[in-house]
Structure 1
């Protein structure tokens, strides 16, 4: 059995990742600060011990007894005089030891100086066993780990100049207070980090909600979209990635709305235009009798209507494909050669006075098959609205950034009221609703679609001397 995990919203995931990253960062900062403080404590203690032992070593080499004015003769007198002149730092002990004092595990004649009292029971001079170990040790520096805290020490041995016992100066520093300060700082930083995380949670929740608000609108809008209502759009605010997402989604809705609209138009157009021939076919088949002549005439009429239905379907499919990006496939074409080819093909459409007018000698980026299809359609349109012997001119011209291919006739022309509707699907001008105005009214719509596929347009103007001139005005670049 598959167990479905609860869905976690993007807002929660963003907040969780933010908190995890901040927690790791703040924890790393706290640990780093503690390490730096402990390192500084260690360095400061090391410098203090080195300084104290260095000063004593200089005193041993250069000091004189203030009572005699000569060099010290035994360690006890040297240590006492030196320690009387010292003032210990906080948490520091200065101890002077002699062999006799260390042997009986007591400080003996040592003088202990410190700036302030140490916590009860922590002073080194009270730990006679530790003093004995330090005095007998061959090391100059060391560390004692005691239950009451860590103690760092340094020792300078004193060799006798006379018959007195051996001695040593011991400098001890209690590091527990300094280390406790580093630990307190660490826990303070952790507490502040916890407060910062709580504040970040509230701010992050609000900010993430504001940033993701357009995404929620996108989700809500997508859930409410239906084939019948594609009009909703997302308000675009700002110039960030979320705004870009909203713009992209709105563009997708525009394309979907156009696609559904084109689909509905196609279905409506097909149903409208195919209903009549289907009715004619059905009516003739239902009334067809047994007479061979009657049957032959019925078959002829039915076949003619079926051919017309086939042409309508092909034209509708062609117009439906005009929305596709590969509807036209431009390539470099010699415009003069293309114009001449169109002229040769159009001459077979009817008994007219065909004239090859001006020809543009240049190269253009066009789809030759689509342009030929549009020009032949315009020529066929001219044939339908002229009579034998009338002139039909085909030609091309070039302007600065565009080319023009045109078909001009000397027929009745186009009334002004029809100029805006003849390029729509299934629309015919009033002057073209005669016996010769066959077809479904899709020819000029196809011409318009081909022109727009080339980023151009189809234009209608009056021919000098009467008639109509249809022009394809197209961009020349790729």
Structure 2
């Protein structure tokens, strides 16, 4: 039988907060889940370490208490043996069994403690039990275990640990002998630590249970806190997934002042730069298409109607050449405006402003037959881009030529006004109407009233001047010239005057 597999339709994976997601066919653990896993691992290690250390310390305390009790009981017996006497005769004991009996019948053992008196019987393998006091409920007393008593009685050590099937026994022994004879009896203290150890283990299990509850509580709190902290990160991912070339307006809400808020601010700043770059690109394409369409149409129209007459051909070629030159200037201006978004558009360096002003004046005099005047010069050194400022000033001079007639005055100068360096071009033309003061600095925008003869520009010159001024963190100011006309001033507010003084 032949089967046909259905073709998978590509889909965009939705943003999810599940611990495991699928991305390009690979399983991936989210940052939220990884944070929770590391938190749980560290807490689990810490809580288990605390519980284990607590159990160890409690068991050590049990061992110390048992050793202290064994030492105390044996010391009391030794003291009784050395200083005590027979209660019937009032004299010192002569029989080891009597010492043991007299001491033991007055003792009250602690819980889980046995006090035993043993005596050697000639010819018998097991010692005889003289008397025993004990309080070991639920556990087989040592007195009933002859094998264990024989091991303790015959041991050369004064204390030790006996391991039985019923549990561990800690013991201490004091040998008793008639004066001048070998030991024939022994006082034995035995302690069963199982109950104390079980209490410690019970507390250990309770501590583990509390730790488990704390871990479960941590899972809930940690999951919520991690989700809250990482919410801006998920917004970054969602926003990045939804960004398109047509819509770059989405931004991430910034709350607080922590690292996540700083990440959101950085991402928003990146989107601002990206939006400006795409906007500049679209404006460049739109402006180029808009401005180049007219000369292309003119060139095509003249070529289509061009006849065989030599004079007609010559006129057509001249018109086509003029339109091609105009197209070339438009393209150069558009390329220049496109570069204004680059960080290296302006490269400041120490410049002699007087030399810059003089060069601008010399270059401007070739633009047209006007009454050119060098009004004033700032004899200072400043940080600016010599080439860009010259380009802007020459553009302002060209604009002044286009809006004046031969013989009219155009003044060029530079000065220092407080912290600002100002370079200006003032003409004596008709001036700029108030409603045109703002729009003339926009791309492809001209004033509603032409101040002079119509030029061949595309309305990009003042846009370039504005871009150069803003590249120096300055601005272009438009004022009326005293006596009539317009004065365009580059106000470079961030240009640092290094030395010198205005002249």
What TM-score, normalized by structure 2, do the two folds share?
A: 0.87
Distance apart, 1:372 and its partner CA: 0.9
Aligned to 2:348: 330
Per-residue deviation, residues 89-131 of structure 1 (Å, max 9, x unmatched): 111111222222995424421x3223x343242x111111111
Aligned to 2:133: 113
Aligned to 1:7: 28
Aligned to 2:156: 138
Other structure's SS at 1:58 match:
helix
Aligned to 2:482: 464
**What is the CA RMSD across the aligned residues, in angstroms?**
2.4
Aligned to 2:269: 251
Q: Within 1, Cα distance between the matches of 2:216 and 2:122? A: 60
Query: 1:400–1:145: structure 2 CA closer, same or farther, 3 Å change rule?
Result: farther
Query: 1:270–1:184: structure 2 CA closer, same or farther, 3 Å change rule?
Result: same
Q: 1:147 aligns with which of 135, 142, 165?
A: 165
CA contact (8 A) 2:477 2:491 kept: yes
CA contact (8 A) 1:102 1:108 kept: no
Give the number of the structure whose residues are more often strand, by fraction. Answer: 2
Q: Within 1, Cα distance between the matches of 2:218 and 2:324? A: 74
Q: Within 2, Cα distance between the matches of 1:159 and 1:346? A: 132
Query: 1:151–1:430: structure 2 CA closer, same or farther, 3 Å change rule?
Result: same
Whether 1:230 and 2:248 are equivalent positions in the alignment is yes
CA contact (8 A) 2:430 2:452 kept: no
Other structure's SS at 2:39 match:
helix
Q: Within 2, Cα distance between the matches of 1:101 and 1:398? A: 127
Distance apart, 1:65 and its partner CA: 3.3
Per-residue deviation, residues 263-295 of structure 1 (Å, max 9, x unmatched): 221111111100011111111222223334333
Per-residue deviation, residues 245-274 of structure 1 (Å, max 9, x unmatched): 332332222222222222221111111100
Q: Within 1, Cα distance between the matches of 2:123 and 2:236? A: 86
Q: 1:296 aligns with which of 290, 314, 322?
A: 314
Deviates most, 321-330 or 253-262: 253-262
Q: Within 2, Cα distance between the matches of 1:102 and 1:21? A: 66
Q: Within 1, Cα distance between the matches of 2:25 and 2:132? A: 75
Q: Within 2, Cα distance between the matches of 1:477 and 1:43? A: 81
After TM superposition, the structure 1 = structure 2 runs for residues 8-87 of structure 1, keeping only pairs within 5 Å, are 8-87=29-108
Give the number of the structure whose residues are more often helix, by fraction. Answer: 1
Per-residue deviation, residues 150-183 of structure 1 (Å, max 9, x unmatched): 1111122224315685222211111111111122
Structure 1: unaligned runs, 5 residues or longer: none
Whether 1:408 and 2:426 are equivalent positions in the alignment is yes
What TM-score, normalized by structure 1, do the two folds share?
A: 0.92
Distance apart, 1:397 and its partner CA: 1.6
Query: 1:334–1:280: structure 2 CA closer, same or farther, 3 Å change rule?
Result: same
Other structure's SS at 1:223 match:
helix
CA contact (8 A) 1:101 1:107 kept: no
CA contact (8 A) 1:215 1:242 kept: yes
- Give the number of equivalent residue pairs: 473
Query: 1:259–1:410: structure 2 CA closer, same or farther, 3 Å change rule?
Result: same
Distance apart, 1:196 and its partner CA: 2.7
Per-residue deviation, residues 191-248 of structure 1 (Å, max 9, x unmatched): 2333333333333333333333333333333333222222222222233333333323
Q: Within 1, Cα distance between the matches of 2:305 and 2:139? A: 127
CA contact (8 A) 1:100 1:108 kept: no
Aligned to 1:476: 495
Q: Within 1, Cα distance between the matches of 2:55 and 2:496? A: 69
Other structure's SS at 2:297 match:
helix
CA contact (8 A) 1:103 1:132 kept: no
Q: 1:199 aligns with which of 214, 217, 222?
A: 217
After TM superposition, the structure 1 = structure 2 runs for residues 75-474 of structure 1, keeping only pairs within 5 Å, are 75-100=96-121, 103-109=124-130, 111-114=131-134, 116-121=135-140, 123-161=141-179, 166-432=184-450, 435-474=453-492
